[in-house]
Structure 1
């Protein structure tokens, strides 16, 4: 067996040299990090400036862009079906989908807009002629006298002369006729702008079908969130848009159709016009379509058509009003469940701040907020409240690293 000729002091010196800690490398000068920080700051400011000017470029078309995105999300299943039929030809599939959208959505809107403008002008001419000739006021006077006699029969203290009802009704009729005239003329004059907006929406929707998935993937890659959270937010946005369209727009259209049918059956003039007006009125929270069909029932009552008025009330209360409770919950399936009061404020605030597109944009912003709060709850609150599972590992490892310590006793 070979002998180790190394002396004891040499061994100790060798051991000390092997276990001695490595000397730390000198730290870089303080000024070496300045160019990197300056570059990051400059790049951040430059990005904000470019984004601001980009916003100014697209600002005149934000409504069209938003409506095109809504149209893209709600018609995506149709596009995917056509894409499978066309064996993956995205350009042809996008063009066919936009053509179908133009035929079944935009063309009926244009035809309906023409009917509304025509009937609105006829209604304005009818009210104006009645006001100038005095026949309209004579009819109203007879009906009001009938109402006053009926109130006296019920022992109700009603005196229409003290209420200055003539002046109030005349002012209201003049204002209503002027409003109808201005909006109908504005609709006719703005037809070119309206048509341009529809074509622009179709054009943007075409490119959403063609390149939308690639654009969404690029946004996901730029997002600092992980893939699961990006998919969760995008899924909530898509489900909210579809559920809002189904539960709001489709229900409003059904109520408008039922309202127009009721107006036609019970003898309300300009049934198509008032049925169309009922569609956007149905979006108004709480009141909804009743803001149209209830005055129509009162109109029939003042005309002396008591049974038709009662039928209009029953039709509006039973058939039109029940759509919200029977059809809307079924159409809203798949959306994030939110408290009714929050949804109410989201729709009202959205319409107040963004206009008519607010009834989609308001619930969409609310859904986005709830998604962000859910991600915050999962990633930050739960992790901060859960103690780490390996907190006792260092003690266990230290005790396991020195086995047999008690064997020396």
Structure 2
């Protein structure tokens, strides 16, 4: 009885200390998450260097991290700063009255009277819609302006988190494999289950970041390029907006380029509008279907409805980092239930084994 009581007391304290440690790390969720993702994504680079340079873990980890900084971190920082600058400029134009979003909506209504008739059938008043569009544009530009100002004032804190991310990423690149083995040895879930769960984490990190993020960046870049070619204002700003919207399943970049094409039709720019629609459908729209299989490969994918719900839920829970956290939680949920089904349901286990053998064959 005494030994059992000691065992329960130790486990209770273990859980309490683990939760406290988690609370300590919670403010650093973003840099720790992205450090882990960097270690997963750049692991193939690390292996390639290891085969050529031999057992030099510090040098290999440092060179891998430098490659990440040059290829990813610096371009993203440049894009972020340019985005905030254009957002601030857009806010200043709206405040000065140089841009009037309601006027653009009015031109579309006048050019397409069928849209007004359709909206009236849905009991949507165009005047109210015009006012809401103007207010939404002002609110969005104010949000960008506030964040631009906050970024400038909090640049030191941002750079500190960036340095922390790179610092942790270096040690994960150097010692990641040994750390995983220690966790597998310590966790009481069974080595096979734990390896399966770590594999799922790596797969969803690759599928979400290498697939979704890179595809979204390509779509945003293509959208910003066509906006620039056609002479539309704030091309970089709208390109970044299309990138963010492309991260959300079902939504996509069409939310930006399709209304822009309608406006071009409304003001008589028929050639530019036709080019924008054709480009959006054939180039931006097909980029996902062409690039995603190449970038993601055979990595595990969730059903579309689960990707949508987990992405939106993750963003609501932890902000922009939720587009990774949400699908990660969802795939772990699926993995745990798959393990449970395989181990405690004999019929499911036999069917799953048969599917794996067929896949290998």
Residue 247 of structure 1 corresponds to which residue in structure 2?
211
- 8 A contact 1:351–1:359 mirrored in 2: yes
Alpha carbons of structure 1 residues 280 and 39: separation in structure 2 relative to 1, 3 Å: same
Partner of 1:407: none
Partner of 2:81: 114
Find the residue that maps to 1:288 and give its secondary structure: coil
Paired with 2:70 and 2:107, the residues of 1 have a C-alpha distance of: 51
Report if aligned partners of 1:243, 1:334 keep a CA contact under 8 Å in 2: no
Map of 1:140 onto structure 2: 103
Distance 1:63 1:172 in 2: 29
- Please state how far the C-alpha of 1:108 moved relative to its aligned partner: 1.1
CA pair 84-312 structure 1, distance change in 2 beyond 3 A:
same
Give the C-alpha shift of residue 202 in structure 1.
0.6
Give the structure-1-normalised TM-score. 0.76
The CA deviation string for residues 89-137 of structure 1, in whole angstroms up to 9 with x for no partner, is 1111111111111111111112112211222222222222225xxxx55
1:301, 1:313 → 2: CA distance?
Answer: 11
Kindly state the Cα deviation for residue 165 of structure 1 after the two structures are TM-superposed: 6.7
**Structure 1 residue 171, shift from structure 2 partner:** 3.4
Matches within 5 A, 1:10-409: 34-130=1-97, 136=99, 140=103, 144=106, 147-148=109-110, 151=113, 163=127, 167-168=131-132, 170-382=134-346
Number of residue pairs matched by the alignment: 347
8 A Cα contact 1:352 1:358, kept in partner: yes
Q: Is the 8 A contact 2:111 2:266 kept in 1?
A: no
Larger helix share, 1 or 2 = 2
Higher relative contact order (CA 8 A, sep 6+): 2
* Bigger mean CA offset, 289-298 vs 210-219: 289-298
Instruction: Name stretches of at least 5 consecutive residues in structure 1 with no aligned partner.
Output: 1-33, 387-409
Distance 1:304 1:175, change over 3 A: farther
1:63/1:167 CA distance change after superposition, 3 Å: closer
- Taking structure 2 as the reference length, the TM-score comes to 0.85
- In structure 1, how many angstroms separate the alpha carbons of the residues matched to 2:85 and 2:249? 29
Q: 1:226 to 1:49 in 2, by over 3 A?
A: closer
Higher mean displacement: 366-375 or 276-285: 366-375
**Alpha-carbon distance change, 226 to 91 in structure 1, aligned in 2, over 3 angstroms:** same
The two structures, once aligned, show a CA RMSD in angstroms of 3.1
- Structure with higher Rg: it is 1
